[in-house]
């Protein structure tokens, strides 16, 4: 077997490599889910940023406005307060006025959510609640005990702001306006889930990379095909993440929101919360596509070979320019940020390393295949081919008559062989030889 011929893998080895790639793609799918849940559930900055984006959604503003007004009416006898402000003969209108004020309050709350002060109250409430949640899940601290109590999102400040807009007097203490995030009897389960979630978020991505590397290593002599299969696996994992996001979102929102008017808010919230997951899926699709394209460029196809021939002079004589172009493309991608992964240190380092290995492999391959390629020779051949388009093809030169027949020496050797084996008699051999040698 020559150095250029691909190795022949045994049937068992081929199925082993395929199985490892399928397993790696499954682990990659699960690792993306684990990293997303860990970031959203356990990282306070990510949670707070997500909550701020949630408040920008009109559907969520409407749903939250209804909730706050309901909380306000649950804490205050609005009808009684209105009756006190009306003259005696008009106090019977306090009930209808309170109902009208409820609808006005919802619209006022929606306008309030566009103000910087209310938005800051929402962000602060979410940040404090999540910080409390993280401390509790990690075992408690000096100020927060894990022995009892609930972790809550306190919306009392926003209720107070809304009450002032409606000129309604609140009690000195607003007991409600709280959204329970974690009950004390759920603490042990939450701590266990959080522990394994952090382990999965750290381990699974590296396990997926290790499995892909193992599959390529086991495909000795056919690693280009293995890289292509890995790229397809990463691409499919990204597509499945997008499909899972859509399907799970529909099921989850429909199961949690019994009222149709809240389903639009539920879908808007799901889209915001899972935006990081969608970005991860898109990153996987891009990386998988690039891996497949690399395998094509490294292949034996005519177009891929032509590209490598064109790159050969620069790969051999101008390696600095090659790596300079690579760095320029990388900087453009970081500036463009097609997905947030290009602004996160670890994913960016992994993608940069893999891309650099791919560029170096192509550079060396083109050097070995076309050691004598000269700069400009490829473009010159292209110009020649383009210029020759439309010209009539030259007729092939007629072969000489003597070349059509076997050479005389060969005919004499055949006659001698037939004579020696008894197929020709002495007289026949002499007569035929005389014809060839007059």
Which of 269-273, 424-428, 430-434 has the least mean pLDDT?
A: 424-428
Residues forming a β-bridge with 172: none
* Average pLDDT rounded to a whole number, residues 74-99: 74
Q: For the chain, what percent of residues have pLDDT higher than 90? A: 23
Contacts of residue 310, Cβ cutoff 8 Å, sequence gap at least 6: 378, 379
Burial level of 420, CB count in 10 A (0-12/13-18/19+)? exposed
The answer to whether the beta carbons of residues 218 and 13 sit under 8 Å apart is yes
Q: How confident is the model at residue 324 (pLDDT cuts 50, 70, 90)?
A: very high
Q: What is the pLDDT of residues 9-64, one digit of tens each?
A: 778 888 999 999 999 999 999 999 999 988 887 888 888 888 888 888 888 888 88
Q: What is the pLDDT of residues 54-77, one digit of tens each?
A: 888 888 888 888 877 887 777 777
Largest distance between two CA atoms of the chain:
151
Tell me which H or E stretch contains 144. none
* Euclidean distance between the first and the last CA atom of the chain, given in angstroms as a whole number: 50
Q: How confident is the model at residue 416 (pLDDT cuts 50, 70, 90)?
A: confident
pLDDT surpasses 70 at 376: no
Long-range contacts of 273-277 (CB under 8 A, 24+ apart): 273/40, 273/50, 273/54, 274/36, 274/245, 274/249, 275/53, 276/36, 276/39, 276/40, 276/46, 276/340, 277/32, 277/33, 277/36, 277/241, 277/245
User: Which two tokens mark 202?
Assistant: 């750290």
Q: What is the pLDDT of residues 182-206, one digit of tens each?
A: 565 666 677 788 788 889 999 999 9
Q: Give me the residue spans of the domains in the chain.
A: 40-190, 202-369, 406-436
Question: Would the pTM count as exceeding 0.95?
Answer: no
The answer to whether the beta carbons of residues 309 and 249 sit under 8 Å apart is no
């Amino acid at each position: 077997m020559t150095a250029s011929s691909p190795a022949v893998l045994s049937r068992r080895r081929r199925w082993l490599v395929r199985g490892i790639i399928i397993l790696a793609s499954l682990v990659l799918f699960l690792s993306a889910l684990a990293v997303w849940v860990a970031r959203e559930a356990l990282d306070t900055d990510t949670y707070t940023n997500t909550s701020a984006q949630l408040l920008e959604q009109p559907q969520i503003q409407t749903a939250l406005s209804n909730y706050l007004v309901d909380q306000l009416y649950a804490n205050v006898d609005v009808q009684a307060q209105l009756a006190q402000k009306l003259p005696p003969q008009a106090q019977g209108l306090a009930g209808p006025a309170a109902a009208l004020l409820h609808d006005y309050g919802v619209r006022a709350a929606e306008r309030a959510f566009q103000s910087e002060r209310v938005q800051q109250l929402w962000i602060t409430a979410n940040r404090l609640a999540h910080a409390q949640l993280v401390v509790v899940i990690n075992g408690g601290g000096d100020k927060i005990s894990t022995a009892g109590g609930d972790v809550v999102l306190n919306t009392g400040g926003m209720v107070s702001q809304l009450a002032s807009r409606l000129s309604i007097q609140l009690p000195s203490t607003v007991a409600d306006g709280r959204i329970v995030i974690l009950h004390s009897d759920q603490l042990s389960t939450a701590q266990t889930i959080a522990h394994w979630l952090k382990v999965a978020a750290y381990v699974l991505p590296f396990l997926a990379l290790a499995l892909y590397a193992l599959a390529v290593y086991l495909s000795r002599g056919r690693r280009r095909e293995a890289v292509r299969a890995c790229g397809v696996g990463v691409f499919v994992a990204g597509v499945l993440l997008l499909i899972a996001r859509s399907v799970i979102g529909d099921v989850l929102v429909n199961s949690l929101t019994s009222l149709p008017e809240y389903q639009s808010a539920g879908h808007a919230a799901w889209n915001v919360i899972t935006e990081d997951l969608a970005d991860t899926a898109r990153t996987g699709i891009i990386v998988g596509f690039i891996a497949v394209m690399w395998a094509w460029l490294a292949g034996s196809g005519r177009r891929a070979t032509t590209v490598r021939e064109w790159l050969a002079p620069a790969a051999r004589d101008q390696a600095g320019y090659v790596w300079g172009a690579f760095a320029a493309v990388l900087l453009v991608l970081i500036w463009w940020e097609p997905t947030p992964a290009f602004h996160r240190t670890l994913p960016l380092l992994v993608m940069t390393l893999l891309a650099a290995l791919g560029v170096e492999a192509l550079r060396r391959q083109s050097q070995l295949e076309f050691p004598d390629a000269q700069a400009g020779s490829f473009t010159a051949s292209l110009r020649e081919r383009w210029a020759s388009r439309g010209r009539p093809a030259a007729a092939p030169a007629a072969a000489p008559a003597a070349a059509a027949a076997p050479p005389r020496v060969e005919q004499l050797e055949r006659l001698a062989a037939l004579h020696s084996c008894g197929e020709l008699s002495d007289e026949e051999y002499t007569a035929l030889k005389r014809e060839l040698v007059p």
